[in-house]
Structure 1
Amino acid sequence: MNASLSEMRESTALCYDSLNNSCPRTVYPLTLRLSLYFLFTTIFILTVSGNLLVIFVIFLSQNHLSTATNHLILSLSLAGVLIGGFVMPHSMTRSIETCWYFGLIFCEFHTTVDVVLCNTTVWHLSFISVDRYLAIFHPLHYRNLMTKNTGAAMIISSWGLALVFGFAIVISNPEVKIREDFYKSCVGGCFSLHAREIGLEYSIIFYFIPVCIIITVYGRIFFVAQRHAKVIHSYSKGPKLSAQLTAKDLKATKTLAIVVGTFLFCWTPFFMCNIIDPLIGHSINTLLYESLMWVAYLNAMFNPLIYVFFYSWFRKTAKVFLSKLFMQM
């Protein structure tokens, strides 16, 4: 076995040529690497700029700033900025170079921050769905139900659950499942969560509980809204009113479909692999995991579009803000 490992190391590039215990490195063609750097850089620039725009616009809209909904959106956007500005750049280097050049301590810190930020994003989305449920089903009591204290409790819960879970992973030090012992002890590797044996528990807390909340809430909103629309259509008089109601129903349906569809598109493939991989002896290709991890990151880029750009007041304020910004430049 040692002989085969030695042959593999001789025929493979290393993360650190001067170290005997360096991890092997997969060297992609230069054209592919440059293309990936351009793609990933574009993704985290759009993620940071989009979420920063949300933060600035909400702060500029003083009449909307005091609502619990916008406190949730601000907190969600802050998590998006940190994912784009801190997590993505280092993950980009690891994904493209297939090596970790930032040290073991920073590897653990980066992994922990990655887990905390992605987890808090998912919980924010869950609480935003609850907020939308209260706004639609209890409009008369909404202001009494969604107070500043309620919004603050949701934000604290989102960050608190993510922090507890993130640090629990570090403290428990879950086993890294790699097929050869050489990969466990080499220098230049930083195995993200997909390499750690936390599978089902991680997936239930991180994904399945929030996704059940989101699907249940938005599903109820969708079906009840459709039922109410049919009742209204049956009593409406004249084609003009009917057309207006149909347009509103169509817009609401599209919004709900985008909210749920984007969330499921970004996160489901990663977690399905996370559950299946231990069952098949950790035989899923690492490159596939890396690709699905980046698809999950995309949710932080899409969030500003989904949860804010549907608001007409946001679009108006954003136009004013951007026009002033470009005029000053």
Structure 2
Amino acid sequence: MGIILVLGAMITLGNVAVVSVICSAVPGWSRNSRYLLLSLTGADSAFGLVVMPLNLCVSMLKDYSDEPDPFCHVVAFINATVYSTCMYTLASISLERYVAVFYPLQYSGMLTRRRALALIAFAWIFPPALLAPITCPVGIIDVHFSTASLVCNPSYSSNVAYSLTLTAFIFFPCSALMTFCNLRLWVAARTQRRKLRRHHVPGRWTRPNVASRVLVPVMSAYFTCWTPCMVTMIYTAVSGSDVPEWVEFVAVWLPTSNGFLNCIFYFWINQSFRRKFRAVLQRMCFGHGPDAKTVHDSVIAVLNNNTVHERSSSVSSTCTLLTGAVESYN
């Protein structure tokens, strides 16, 4: 319980800081990017504000009988919905950045505001529709309270076909889309970096490779956090056997740590985000005094220097993420 509470506090505080910044305009971030990142922040925050409190509440109130527990079914449904929404949102962000880089001239037409909101709506509506059978106490799949992981967990072996269907519609398509988009972005960034080195003075391009510094950790963290959960789910469904208790605990709660790592990889590494966060903190600390006015003027100057067209701003933010050359111009 201590580990779970600490993890929940880290996720909540990290995402509160993120929301305080991206609720206002951040230089270099397009409107679509802000919508998708707000959606990701909402899904990550649900780990600390909804998933953890509900399961800890069940762990303290559960009578541990073998009878079907309607409340435990609802909690298991909420758990799975938040996990699935997070994966779909991560895939949507990867798709948006892929379009911004490889189709910059068609970006505004391909990914309009309505389509971006449709992607977000799909990420939040489709998982509950797919997972609705879990809410039925006597339905498609059984649910039990696990004393090893302190969560209400579906018994995947009680319906192997439905369990494998969930992985086929959630984990595998999201993972495939993220891998394809980020791999293409990484290759494009490395190609662009080589071209810049050939056509400019070599000494100017000594900054770290931003593509490797950002995209590689993003994908590594994603697969490290989510793969054990999916492997455990498939193994228990197919074999009908339980895994060791410590393996179950790690597999169940490790994906929630991705909610904290997302704050680092998608926000804190971004220079514009860090600058805006410092400005927000200084306004909160100094109020309307002279320091606050100085910060306000500097933020306005940054915004004026970075006010561009919607499509250009999206491409700029993505290229800043991908290549050290662009970062050096900034």
Tell me the TM-score normalised to structure 1 length. 0.75
Aligned residues: 277
Deviation for aligned residue 1:77: 0.9
**Residue 253 in 1 paired to residue 212 in 2?**
yes
Q: Is the 8 A contact 1:64 1:70 kept in 2?
A: no
Alignment of 1:100-115 (within 5 A): 104-115=69-80
Secondary structure of the structure 2 residue equivalent to 1:315: helix
- Deviations 1:172-194 (Å, cap 9, x if unpaired)? 8333388xxxx99xxxx974135
Percentage of identical aligned residues: 20
Q: Distance in 2 between matches of 1:272 and 1:57?
A: 36
Amino acid paired to 1:241: R
Amino acid paired to 2:39: S
Quote the residue 2:277 is aligned against: 318
Deviation for aligned residue 1:135: 1.6
Deviation for aligned residue 1:94: 5.6
> Aligned in 2, Cα 1:94/1:292: closer, same or farther, shift over 3 Å?
farther
Secondary structure of the structure 2 residue equivalent to 1:192: strand
Quote the residue 2:123 is aligned against: 158
Amino acid paired to 1:81: S
Deviation for aligned residue 1:93: 5.6
Q: Distance in 2 between matches of 1:100 and 1:253?
A: 50
Equivalent in 206, 220, 223 of residue 264 of structure 1: 223
Alignment of 1:208-223 (within 5 A): 208-223=172-187
Q: Alignment RMSD, CA only?
A: 2.9
Deviation for aligned residue 1:288: 2.1
Deviation for aligned residue 1:132: 0.9
**Residue 173 in 1 paired to residue 139 in 2?**
yes
| Bigger shift: residues 265-274 or 40-49 | 40-49
> Aligned in 2, Cα 1:131/1:190: closer, same or farther, shift over 3 Å?
closer
Higher relative contact order (CA 8 A, sep 6+): 2
Amino acid paired to 1:46: M
| Bigger shift: residues 69-78 or 133-142 | 133-142
Quote the residue 1:193 is aligned against: 154
Q: Is the 8 A contact 1:99 1:190 kept in 2?
A: no
> Aligned in 2, Cα 1:53/1:194: closer, same or farther, shift over 3 Å?
farther
Q: Distance in 1 between matches of 2:48 and 2:252?
A: 13
Amino acid paired to 1:259: V
Quote the residue 1:202 is aligned against: 166
| Bigger shift: residues 277-286 or 77-86 | 277-286
Q: Distance in 2 between matches of 1:54 and 1:72?
A: 13
Deviation for aligned residue 1:276: 1.6
Q: Is the 8 A contact 2:70 2:135 kept in 1?
A: no
Amino acid paired to 1:176: D
Q: Is the 8 A contact 1:194 1:274 kept in 2?
A: no
Equivalent in 89, 103, 108 of residue 124 of structure 1: 89
> Aligned in 2, Cα 1:175/1:193: closer, same or farther, shift over 3 Å?
closer
Q: Distance in 2 between matches of 1:308 and 1:211?
A: 21
Deviation for aligned residue 1:115: 1.2
Q: Distance in 1 between matches of 2:192 and 2:27?
A: 31
Deviation for aligned residue 1:100: 6.3
Quote the residue 2:201 is aligned against: 238
Amino acid paired to 2:244: N
Deviation for aligned residue 1:233: 2.5
Deviation for aligned residue 1:324: 3.3
Q: Is the 8 A contact 2:143 2:152 kept in 1?
A: no
> Aligned in 2, Cα 1:146/1:177: closer, same or farther, shift over 3 Å?
closer
- Deviations 1:16-36 (Å, cap 9, x if unpaired)? xxxxxxxxxxxxxxxxxxxx4
Q: Distance in 1 between matches of 2:75 and 2:143?
A: 19
**Residue 81 in 1 paired to residue 40 in 2?**
no
Amino acid paired to 2:140: P
| Bigger shift: residues 50-59 or 119-128 | 50-59
Amino acid paired to 1:69: S
**Residue 224 in 1 paired to residue 188 in 2?**
yes
Quote the residue 1:309 is aligned against: 268
Quote the residue 1:30 is aligned against: none
> Aligned in 2, Cα 1:44/1:210: closer, same or farther, shift over 3 Å?
same
Quote the residue 2:302 is aligned against: none
| Bigger shift: residues 308-317 or 210-219 | 308-317
Q: Distance in 2 between matches of 1:64 and 1:111?
A: 39
- Deviations 1:148-203 (Å, cap 9, x if unpaired)? 1121011011112112112143358333388xxxx99xxxx974135553432122
Tell me the TM-score normalised to structure 2 length. 0.74
Deviation for aligned residue 1:219: 0.9
Secondary structure of the structure 2 residue equivalent to 1:173: coil
Deviation for aligned residue 1:105: 3.1
Gapped regions of structure 1 (runs ≥ 5): 1-35
